[in-house]
Amino acid sequence: MDPREKCDATGPPRSRKGKSRANRPRRGTRAESPQPQNDGEAQEGGQDPQTPKPPRLPKRQTALLLGFCGTGCSGMQIQPNLRTIEGVLFEALVRAGAVSQDNADDPVKVNLGRAARTDAGVHAAGNLVSMKLITAVPGIKDWVGHVNSFLPPEIRVWGKVRVQNSFNARTSCDSRKYTYFFPTYLLLPPKPDTALANVLKSASSTAQTQDISPQSTSRPFWDAPPATYEDDLARKRTWRVGSDAVEALRATAKKYEGTHNFHNFTVGREFSDRSNQRHMLSIEVSDPAVYGDTEWISVLFHGQSFMFHQVCRSIRKMMSALVLSCRTGTPSQIIDELYGPRMVMVPKMPALGLLLEYPIFETYNKRVGAHSEKLDQSDVDYRPGIDFEIHRNSIDEFKQRYIYDNMRNTEDQCGVFDAWIRYVDSYEGNDLLYLNPRGIIPAAAVIKKGVRRSAPFREKKRFDITSLTDIKQEGPATLEEAGEDENDEECLTKGKLEEMEG
């Protein structure tokens, strides 16, 4: 029997289901072989039983403020046999001596938690993980710089904060800020004679309503002679959005503010599920800005308890409803309709434009501030607040080099957003009929549980790609050929959804 297992008169310990754990392998995510050590680093465990162990170093509940470019990683959270942000970070902390060798095989042992999850390839200018760490490594004066020396340049620790022992990175987080960037040419109306344009025009004529084209100033764009999609894309990049269209975008975005039922912007939850009720604090639409040949615009989402299921997918759906309604001239009241009980298909915008700005811990900061205001910073009970803004210069420099440049270069070379909007415009079913001049969801667009639709809109995994590296690995035809359909109606338990929240 494993000597680590306790035993009494009843035999080896058993799980809740009554199964013996005597021969169960030790839990862990790391290899059994010892990891390479740096000279002079103090480590525990991983030694010959005859060799005395080094003294145990004190561990403190610590919050790490970090930023990362998600390219090449399968999301934020540690997963077996996959490269993830937490996996790379945890490995660096072990090598730096901030996690002892006794705890190096399982992050659960140090209570690893995160403020926000991100999908594969999604970036973060700021995120926070918390765990019990050795914050006084012998011989190391610059702890943060020491840890960063074991990290790749696209993952940076901005700072560490000693937090209360009861601190929970997810539940202590009051709100989160996300930014979505996209080229303004997505606001051009559907190209005439495309499947979507014809379907919406036919539905509009049947309803005896006005034409669906959103902006009279945009119609001449499609009056040019027929051209290849490469020529169309080149012209799109020289197109500049009008102030009226930007104001329409802002007015529609305001519909997201406040408390609403966001069931149509997630997966696996019914309208009646109370957890769909979420509060958006503010939405800010920036002024357009030109980078290279392309004009870009950004939308900043500040959400309380942000949000549900996988937040990255939810924001991509919210952005899709925002952009598609504006480009088709659909009234902003369609957003109110989407909060209602009828279920519809809302596509996801490309993952390329999404960025986690940082999580916010206002309530926690007030609590520790009240406790620490009369204490000296050297006091053992002093707890500072969590503030990403003190690292603003480093964060902005990192964002420009590793995030913004990556987004723009990928779009410039591959036209990801153009491929997505052309794919949407090629759809000829009924799922998008809520994009109409009445701003009302028609019966033909409603999805009924258990009822098969004749031509459902299919998501494509290729629009989850966030870098040139991913496209090169998938092959040059990645954005032009139909990829594998993504099943967005996967079966998810309530417990799993809660774990994925944020």
* Tokens standing for residue 373: 């205001």
Residue 119 among the catalytic residues: yes
Structure-derived torsion over alpha carbons of residues 96, 98, 101, 104, reported in degrees to the nearest 10: -100
Query: Does the CA dihedral 270-271-273-278 come out positive or negative?
Result: positive
Give the whole-angstrom CA distance, residue 411 versus residue 75: 21
Give the whole-angstrom CA distance, residue 322 versus residue 165: 42
**CB within 8 A of 154, min separation 6: which ones?**
68, 69, 71, 402
Of 105, 119, 418, 470, catalytic: 119
Which residue do the tokens 């989850």 mark?
464
Q: Is 178 annotated as a binding residue?
A: yes
Task: Provide the CA 259 distance to its chain's centre, in angstroms.
Answer: 21
> Which residue, 112, 115, 133, 117, is CA-closest to 65?
115
> Which residue, 190, 184, 195, is CA-closest to 236?
184
Cα angle at 441 between 439 and 446, to 5 degrees? 160
**CB within 8 A of 257, min separation 6: which ones?**
280, 281, 282, 283
Give the whole-angstrom CA distance, residue 133 versus residue 62: 6
485-497 residues labelled b (16+ CB within 10 A) or e (exposed): eeebeeebeeeeb
Q: Please check whether residue 294 is in contact with residue 183, taking contact to mean a CB–CB distance below 8 angstroms.
A: yes
Positions marked catalytic: 119
| Binding site per annotation, positions for substrate | 178
Binding annotation:
178
